[in-house]
Structure 1
Amino acid sequence: MSYKTTLLGAVTLCFAMPGIAQNSNIEESRLEAITVEGSRLDQTQTEIGSSVSIITAEDLKKLDFDFALDAVASAPGVTINQNGSYGGAASVRIRGASSGQTLVLIDGVPVGDPSTTDGSFNFAYLDTSDIERIEVLKGPQSTLWGSDAIGGVVSITTKQPEDKLGGSAYAEYGSFNTLRGGASIGNANETGDFRLSASGISTDGISKADEANGNGEEDGYDSTTLSAKGGLNLPAEARLEATLLWNDAESEYDSYSGGAQGSVADGDERTQNETLSGNVSLKVPLFDDRFENLLMVGYSDITRENFTNGTQSYFAEGDRQIYRYQGTFTVNDMNKLAFGAEREETTANDAESSIDGLFGLYEFKPVEKLTLTGGIRVDDHDTFGSETTGRVAAAYNPVEQLVVRASWGQGFKAPSIFQSTYICTFCGLTEPNADLKPESSEAFDIGADWTSEDGRAKAGITYFDQDTENMIDFSYTAGYDNIAKVKSQGVELYGSYQLTDWLGVAANYAYIDAEDGDGNELARLPENSGDVTMSYDPEGPFSGAVLVRFNGDEANTDGTTLDSWTRVDLTGSYDLTDSVELYGRIENLFDEEYQQILGYGTPGLSGSVGIRLRY
């Protein structure tokens, strides 16, 4: 509780002061935006060497994504799975790695749930209304971020304070009696800045168990999100910042049924989920801004409570504290060095673990058009000992229109608290598996990005190859054991063309060939997937987009195959005035019947309309 109190107090301090000061232009006193925040070296996409997809607030608005889950799915190489729409448990996988091997950061704070089996983050409740951008760094990134980053990193940045006193509000109504709305207000001045926002959604939903299998009971969903962000500009260009994000969600779901498709059928089940995350950071530049220092304390807490027929059937709470220092020293135009230390403490119910990390990163530019990056990290887990990971990357920009890049990296994931403490009593065991080891990965990718001279056309290709060893899975002889191995390789493509000043088309495609150590394809992972988007944005008040999403055949966990599907969505908006906008969305235009997970339903033809105000 003391961590929650500290975060609340820091956020209050950071936005209260600028709120009472006089307005002025503070562009010079604000820190510059980082092109790829997940790089830890302030690198741009032409310097980072790794494959990264960036989804901006403009992208989120254009395609009218309500949930971050759907937005992340638009990045090539990313696979999502959800146990039924509107609050069903949702996971994100990058290049075939499991959801527990995807590190999720919100404003730099890891938010995976330490109390779940694999410590993964549930994307079901994360609304897009307060998101500024999403970065998806693909491939092992443990040298940058430590444990859990075997498959990659999803780094989410919440919206920044307004440049002057102002904000926005929106309200919409749609199918399944869905109400969604929110509002924000912010201000900035010489003293600092702040932003407050609130959003919520309430829906009758659809049946989590597929209605096509005779499940007619609606499963509702309600969620409320509050966020705050603030900063104080201190003497000597130092800056104190704080963020806070709180969500409370309740979702109905269906019951286990051994004889039903996917073993799920109508039932009276409900889950209550509360999430709190935030951080307090101090940024101190030295030596004419050449030496940047960051001190941060972060915290996240997730509480889950399940009910069956109105009676509590499950309770879990996991929290995480992180302490971080990073120094970034720009020696000259050719050399940059970043180094730091982190400590992470996690708790799940009555169990605890901790891990300490030291890292160093070096950027070398022998010539202006070539960026070489290397790094090493040592993490020391209180139970599983030390793990060293390395990373090298190169980005070559021979002409302004072309970037050639390549990277190699290692990843590791320490066993979760659940895996390391689980005692399989029905297996005849009396203690956890003492021989459990961390999972590890090694991967490389190589690719190129091209832009036409007039900027109207863009294209890119990436080939990747990744091996993961010591995968942890359930065993009837040891509980949880290192029994699996995964090899994945594939190609990611994207391209776009601006046909006219007001009409453009973009597409991406991913081919992922992922197999376990016995040569079996991984379950719930399509070999082929992709999106096509056509955007219409003339100078007039109307704009719109068409999104076509394809998901290929994929194996089920029972050995059967889930059929491929294609869904078409339409979005549109109309500016009534400079500050009032009408917008709408039609989902699944052709009423495609499909499943993301065997036995779980998805919405048919549906839609919503809304109004957005800017003030």
Structure 2
Amino acid sequence: MTSRTTPTPTRRLRLCRIALAIGAAMPAAALAQESASPLVPDAITLDPVVLSAGFSPLESLSYGRASTTLQGEDLRERGILSVRDALRTVPGIAVTATGPGFTEIRTRGAEANHTMILIDGIEAGAGDGQYILSGLDTATVERIEVLRGPQSVFYGASAAAGVINIITERRGQGTRAGFEVGNGAATWLSTGISGERGRLSFSGSARHDRGFDVSGDGGEDDAIRRNSATLSGDLNVTPDTTLGFSVRRADEHYNYDATAFPAADAAGYVVDSDDYADRDELGAEIFAQATTFDGRMASRLSWEETRLDLSQNGADATEAKTRALRWRGIVGIDGTAADATRTLALALDRRKDENSLSHDNERRNTSAAIEYRAALANGVDLQFGLRHDDNDVFGSKTSYALAGSWRAPGTPWRLHASAGTGIVNPDYFELLGGFGYVGNPNLEPEENRAFDIGVEATLAGGRGRIDLTYFNERLKNEITFSGAALPDGTNFFNEDGTSTREGVEIAGSYDATGAVSLGATYTYLEAFNADGTVEARRPQHKLALNATARLLDGRATVSGDVLHVRDSYDQTFFGSYGVEELPDYTVVNIAGTYDLNDRARVTARVENLFDEDYSSSWGYANQGRAGWIGLESRW
């Protein structure tokens, strides 16, 4: 069994105090910079709705769970053209990469497959595996919503730690198109038409990134090429009934380097090679929604299908598929479903997944859920959800979600808190094995139990905002891989005891002047296995800073982003097969835009400005300095 060593957390209490002190100091700093300049707006614009906040959207100030919304326009202005780089700026999210074609997302120290990724509300992962978002760019993204904490009540298994919903542009009118060149080339298009009866939208992008040598040995670059297209539309059959659809197709080709097992050291683990893989994706949905009983009830029936095919070095593809029939009903208790202060939501799901690793076995899950929301007096909002899952392989499980928000009357302060449970079923590889490893058919589902509590404040007359959240999560039955065969002959086992994860998340923004905007996020995390050893690929400290200046009467912008990561560990593949601390690193990116006129914009960006040599995974190199220049037009 793979052995692990534990860094002693002797600084734990002191670092927690430091994190809390930072959170306390940031509001004071923002207030101290208040200015009476007429160029400063009266208030910053906060996104009013979280679309993924349960069975229906919810105003952000009423939402009790920890969440972050990233606007696509803001990301592109800052030169953040990949989804994975956008997520690096989010508190509580750790992003690790083993080359341009494989990226893992961990929410609050959880495993990578504990965060469900959606694209336009549809599961992006198929079968039972995690979705690999390495090639996704932000060129046609409208917004990205990140929900932290268990979301299994609303999204089922694999949402035990959080949900990321990537929402693409759905234009009703107009067109936006662009291209850029540099370390490769990319182009994109977003367009749509609309009328009184409906809408039809199309978005597509093609990107060929020349990449870099993943081995770091001076070999050939490992490139990635991705093409994607989304077509969606809806038709108002009657004033109260709408039919709609969405279809997304993507194909991806990427190169990667081989690994030497066991390796003598990190430098020898990844070896330059000509390996490659092809990934094909399909995500589709058809739906019908209607309001009845004079608007007191809103219903939605949908059919979803997701397919992922992965082929390595030209071999037969591994095929994964998920199909789901979903019904949602929202009832307004004291008004219409759209305007009531109290609502009751009911949900029924029938889901089936399959994977070519298991030719004679499918997994079916039937679930029923209920959610109650209430907007009470004195700024109090409550949300409660309960879900029961009946899986034909893993039996019955019940999960819950509870959240609350209180906006103190007459003050800029808001308190928010949530608690809940989440479930993750073992995947086919863990159960059945493959690639020389032996699966364990006796594995039990992992169960996450969590809570968080935080305070949010609007500062400096509405020009600033800060949010500080403490979170605590406990994972039971964590599934662990062992490189050496266990006594039962398998390579996977459920850990005895409870894995622990806790920490602090801080997010702040401030409009220093009408032309300068500042932002910062910080995450402090302690994540340990049930036996007390440190969890790999979960940085203890992550700090992200950004600044944007608008120049020439708003026609030009200059942006800078800084990411600093400290105290991260990863699994080693030599000696004791334990864990090793990775070097700390700081990466700086800069970007600029210039509006030629009201329809055309020139863009430029440099990633890893100071050519930092760093690694987020043991033995793997990361992208060095790379530059891009582009042109975007709207009409």
Report the TM-score, using the length of structure 1 for normalisation.
Answer: 0.88
> Is the partner of 1:123 in helix, strand or coil?
coil
Which letter maps to 2:109?
G
Aligned residue for 2:9?
none
Aligned pairs for 1:551-566 within 5 A: 551-558=565-572, 559-566=579-586
Cα distance per residue 1:529-557 (max 9 Å; x no partner): 02111111243311121101111121120
Distance, in Å, in 2 between the alignment partners of 1:110 and 1:305 is: 21
Aligned residue for 1:184?
190
Question: Is 1:495 matched with 2:508?
Answer: yes
Question: Is 1:168 matched with 2:198?
Answer: no
> How many residues are treated as equivalent by the alignment?
564
Cα distance per residue 1:434-489 (max 9 Å; x no partner): 43211101000000111126211111100000000101123523423212642000
Aligned residue for 1:381?
391
Which letter maps to 2:396?
S
TM-superposed deviation, 1:367? 1.2
TM-superposed deviation, 1:416? 1.4
Cα distance per residue 1:238-293 (max 9 Å; x no partner): 11121111111100111122336262110110000111112111110112323110
Q: Answer whether contact 1:361 1:374 (CA < 8 A) is retained.
A: yes
Aligned residue for 1:65?
80
Cα distance per residue 1:575-609 (max 9 Å; x no partner): 00110100100111112111111221222222100
Aligned residue for 1:251?
254
Aligned residue for 2:619?
599
> Is the partner of 2:222 in helix, strand or coil?
coil
TM-superposed deviation, 1:63? 1.9
Question: Is 1:120 matched with 2:130?
Answer: yes
Moved more, 399-408 or 293-302: 399-408
Q: Answer whether contact 2:477 2:495 (CA < 8 A) is retained.
A: yes
Question: Is 1:196 matched with 2:207?
Answer: no
* Selected match of 1:273 from 279, 294, 318: 279
Distance, in Å, in 1 between the alignment partners of 2:274 and 2:460 is: 59
Q: Answer whether contact 1:536 1:545 (CA < 8 A) is retained.
A: yes
TM-superposed deviation, 1:132? 1.2
TM-superposed deviation, 1:321? 0.6
Distance, in Å, in 2 between the alignment partners of 1:52 and 1:275 is: 27
> Is the partner of 2:559 in helix, strand or coil?
strand
> Is the partner of 2:393 in helix, strand or coil?
coil
Q: Which runs of 5+ in 1 are unaligned?
A: 1-31
Q: Answer whether contact 2:48 2:59 (CA < 8 A) is retained.
A: no
Question: Is 1:474 matched with 2:481?
Answer: yes
Distance, in Å, in 1 between the alignment partners of 2:90 and 2:444 is: 31
Q: Indicate the RMSD between aligned Cα atoms, in angstroms.
A: 1.9
TM-superposed deviation, 1:402? 2.0
Q: Answer whether contact 1:109 1:322 (CA < 8 A) is retained.
A: no
> Is the partner of 2:276 in helix, strand or coil?
strand
Which letter maps to 2:61?
T
Question: Is 1:77 matched with 2:96?
Answer: no
* Selected match of 1:357 from 346, 367, 373: 367
Cα distance per residue 1:147-180 (max 9 Å; x no partner): 1111111112221223x3x2011011113xx111
Question: Is 1:544 matched with 2:544?
Answer: no
Distance, in Å, in 2 between the alignment partners of 1:552 and 1:244 is: 41
Aligned residue for 1:223?
226
> Is the partner of 1:526 in helix, strand or coil?
coil
Distance, in Å, in 2 between the alignment partners of 1:357 and 1:59 is: 38
* Selected match of 2:299 from 288, 293, 303: 293
Q: Answer whether contact 1:106 1:156 (CA < 8 A) is retained.
A: yes
* Selected match of 1:142 from 130, 145, 152: 152
Q: Answer whether contact 1:215 1:265 (CA < 8 A) is retained.
A: no
Aligned residue for 1:448?
455
* Selected match of 1:241 from 239, 244, 247: 244
Question: Is 1:206 matched with 2:216?
Answer: no
> Is the partner of 1:224 in helix, strand or coil?
strand
Distance, in Å, in 1 between the alignment partners of 2:519 and 2:376 is: 35
> Is the partner of 2:442 in helix, strand or coil?
coil
TM-superposed deviation, 1:299? 0.8
Moved more, 233-242 or 135-144: 233-242
Question: Is 1:317 matched with 2:319?
Answer: yes
Distance, in Å, in 2 between the alignment partners of 1:297 and 1:599 is: 43
Question: Is 1:261 matched with 2:274?
Answer: no
Distance, in Å, in 1 between the alignment partners of 2:95 and 2:297 is: 40
Report the TM-score, using the length of structure 2 for normalisation.
Answer: 0.86
Moved more, 66-75 or 316-325: 66-75
* Selected match of 1:406 from 393, 414, 417: 417
Q: Answer whether contact 2:48 2:61 (CA < 8 A) is retained.
A: no
> Is the partner of 1:40 in helix, strand or coil?
coil
TM-superposed deviation, 1:424? 10
Distance, in Å, in 1 between the alignment partners of 2:240 and 2:414 is: 34
Question: Is 1:508 matched with 2:508?
Answer: no
Q: Answer whether contact 2:212 2:624 (CA < 8 A) is retained.
A: no
Pair 1:62–1:290, CA change in 2 (3 A): farther
Distance, in Å, in 2 between the alignment partners of 1:284 and 1:361 is: 19
Aligned residue for 1:521?
534
* Selected match of 1:36 from 45, 48, 51: 51
> Is the partner of 2:53 in helix, strand or coil?
helix
Pair 1:424–1:230, CA change in 2 (3 A): closer
Distance, in Å, in 1 between the alignment partners of 2:175 and 2:249 is: 19
> Is the partner of 1:144 in helix, strand or coil?
helix
TM-superposed deviation, 1:368? 5.0
Q: Answer whether contact 2:590 2:606 (CA < 8 A) is retained.
A: yes
Cα distance per residue 1:300-359 (max 9 Å; x no partner): 10000000xxxx346301011111000011111442111110111111012421111100
Pair 1:577–1:425, CA change in 2 (3 A): closer
Moved more, 472-481 or 340-349: 472-481
Distance, in Å, in 1 between the alignment partners of 2:598 and 2:301 is: 41
* Selected match of 2:115 from 102, 120, 129: 102
> Is the partner of 1:71 in helix, strand or coil?
helix
Distance, in Å, in 2 between the alignment partners of 1:575 and 1:463 is: 42
Q: Answer whether contact 2:521 2:544 (CA < 8 A) is retained.
A: yes
Q: Which runs of 5+ in 2 are unaligned?
A: 1-46, 335-339, 573-578
TM-superposed deviation, 1:497? 1.5
Aligned residue for 2:333?
331
Q: Answer whether contact 2:324 2:352 (CA < 8 A) is retained.
A: yes
Aligned residue for 1:585?
605
Q: Answer whether contact 1:273 1:302 (CA < 8 A) is retained.
A: yes
Which letter maps to 1:330?
G
Moved more, 258-267 or 463-472: 258-267
Pair 1:423–1:198, CA change in 2 (3 A): closer
Which letter maps to 2:231?
A
Distance, in Å, in 2 between the alignment partners of 1:179 and 1:114 is: 32
TM-superposed deviation, 1:612? 0.2
Q: Answer whether contact 1:38 1:155 (CA < 8 A) is retained.
A: no
Cα distance per residue 1:60-92 (max 9 Å; x no partner): 22222222111122110100111123xx21111
Q: Answer whether contact 1:38 1:135 (CA < 8 A) is retained.
A: no
Distance, in Å, in 2 between the alignment partners of 1:297 and 1:336 is: 24
* Selected match of 1:52 from 56, 67, 79: 67
Aligned residue for 2:17?
none
Distance, in Å, in 2 between the alignment partners of 1:173 and 1:425 is: 42
Moved more, 254-263 or 196-205: 254-263
